[in-house]
Chain A
Amino acid sequence: MIQVTEHAAERAVPTWTARIRADEKLLEVRGLTKRYGPGCSSCHQPETGEWHSSRCPRCGTIWACRSLDFHLYPGEILGVVGESGSGKSTMVKCLYFDEEATSGEMTLSVCPGDGNLLQASSQRKRYVRNHLMGMVYQNPYLGLRMNFSSSGNVAEKLFAASQFHVGRVRRRAAELLERVEIPLARMDEPPARFSGGMQQRVQISRALANDPPILLLDEVTTGLDLSVQARVLDLIRSIRRELGVAMIVVSHDLGVIRMLADRTMVMRHGAIVEHGLTDQILEDPQHPYTQLLVHSLL
């Protein structure tokens, strides 16, 4: 439960909140493509047709994401499923600018002036990463400084958003860590000393530090044991409920997707083969690949 304290008022309300409209797409992505390799004449229009892998048989180029179109509404959870190598992680990494997209467009309704953010200046990209999106990686080593204190990990994100008042930053870090059930007595311990589930929760609190409207979650519960997984899933749901954060949840685990996602898209060989309401994807899959995936569920 988020404690509304007197200190909360000290925080500046993010400027974008006034610009969010529930009926307007928060994030829109068109033609997102990520290619590793030069491409050749036989694969230069990779969006057409079904492929047998994401690798061009002639030139060996890997098309990790092939002209992806999708959108996200405020407060909604979009699930992304697909087997290893389907391009789903590359997709979120492109959205967070960890990977540079080869081509495509990404727009955010909260910064309409920026146009295509994939082409924005590195300064604008940094603003988006620090204020508008939070990212939680499967591997906590990518998202955390393991030997810094946990509170320091959160504080780093606040400093990046130009909050320099030490007392306030510390209170905010404590509030965030408490929200993800890290005992306050341990807030100054480094994540390296924490269990896997706790490390993921520190990552989540760090990602939420500046109240972003969008959270990207890449296989966050993969590798956690089942009881810990259930708690992290419940935490994610309550964060959505209380903060209204929209999320993209990437997972190869259909059970996780079923518990979290309102809508789901299925990726294979770098392309979206199907998308729809999550229960419809699971109970009435249209694409043969999705049928195979659903029927492989234990």
Chain B
Amino acid sequence: MLTVENLSKTFELALTHRMTVRPFDSVSFHVPKGHFLGIVGPSGIGKSSILKCIYRTYLPTTGNIYYESERLGPIDLAQADERDILLLRQTEISYVTQFLRVIPRVPAVDVVAERLLPLGWPEDRARGEARAMLERLRIPPALWDAFPATFSGGEQQRINLARALIVKPRLLILDEPTASLDPETKEIVIGFLRDMKREGTTMVGVFHDRDAMARLADEVFDLADWNRRRAEAFHAYNG
């Protein structure tokens, strides 16, 4: 479903002085359909950067990200046309972070329902679906018509999840989706993600929470270990 080959990212910053940052180099992995690949490693090693490259918020410097799209067929997300990326984000690929950034003064239910409108849902049905989703994620009904900017961190995170999950994505990219959730809500989210996986959603994610990771991940990609093995192979080859 998703095959990453020799993916590297280099940031060239030219602010006060020239600076090059390379969070990760030549990374390869494969995620079969309906599997969850967890990326682990210490902070700052570039886990989130890999996720952002897959979503194309970051432009990959080298490498390929092959994805089997339902609408577009096999496509290299690293090279794909911006139009295609926008279409995939609307219909097939969702991305969840801990941070919510939405237009101010729009009620929570509309922030979630909005994702269904480009897919042709009538407004009232989209709102109904959004309410069901908010209920499932245990957002108190009193908040449905309030503005998410006023919500707590955990509530905002669930609005983010609701926005990502309501479109039933084929590929779900998760960056610490349970970071600020209380244990009960975390259980709900994990159960939800497991259901989605069973229904065939492919997932790539970063969790600091080892327990959540163990219960969701089919495979684990250890970025620190990968870097070490590459370095060793490089030294062995060059004597």
Contacts and interface: CB of A to CB of B under 8 A. Distances in A.
Interface of A: 1, 73, 76, 226-227, 230-231, 233-234, 237, 241, 258-259, 262-263, 276-277, 279-280, 283-284, 286, 288, 291-292, 295
Contacts of A284: 11, 52, 57-59
Interface of B: 11-15, 52, 56-59, 82-83, 85-86, 101, 103-106, 114, 117-118, 123
Given A263-B82, A277-B56, A283-B58, 7 more contacts: A230-B104, A241-B118, A258-B101, A279-B57, A283-B57, A284-B52, A291-B15
B14 A280 contact: no
A279 B86 CA distance: 11
A234 B103 contact: yes
Contacts of B101: 258
Nearest to A263: B82
B150 to A, nearest CB: 14
A280 B103 contact: no
20 contacts: A230-B103, A230-B104, A230-B105, A231-B105, A233-B103, A234-B103, A237-B103, A241-B118, A258-B101, A263-B82, A277-B56, A277-B57, A277-B82, A283-B52, A284-B52, A284-B59, A288-B14, A288-B15, A291-B13, A291-B15
Nearest to A276: B82
Nearest to B13: A291
Contacts of A280: 56-59
Contacts of B57: 277, 279-280, 283-284
B27 to A, nearest CB: 17
B56 to A, nearest CB: 6
A161 B158 CA distance: 48
Which 5 A-B residue pairs are closest in the complex by CB-CB distance? A288-B14, A230-B104, A230-B105, A284-B58, A279-B57
A280 B123 CA distance: 30
A26 B106 CA distance: 30
* Interface SS majority for chain B: mixed
Contacts of B11: 284
A204 B180 CA distance: 41
B108 to A, nearest CB: 14
B58 A291 contact: no
Contacts of A227: 105
Contacts of A237: 103
A291 B14 contact: yes
Contact of B15 (A73, A234, A295): A295
Contact of B59 (A1, A230, A286): A286
A276 B59 CA distance: 10
Nearest to A275: B82
Contacts of A263: 82, 86
A59 B123 CA distance: 58
B174 to A, nearest CB: 17
Contacts of B123: 1
Contacts of A262: 86
A73 B117 CA distance: 19
Which of B11, B14, B104 has the most A CB atoms < 10 Å from its CB?
B104
Nearest to A25: B83
Contacts of A295: 15
B138 to A, nearest CB: 27
Contacts of A233: 103
Which of A73, A226, A284, A286 has the most B CB atoms < 10 Å from its CB?
A284
A226 B103 CA distance: 12
Given A233-B103, A258-B101, A277 B86 contact: yes
Contacts of B13: 291
B22 to A, nearest CB: 14
Nearest to B86: A262
B106 A234 contact: yes
Contact of B105 (A234, A283, A286): A234
A288 B104 CA distance: 30
A288 B13 CA distance: 7
A71 B179 CA distance: 40
A231 B106 CA distance: 9
A279 B55 CA distance: 10
Contacts of A291: 13-15
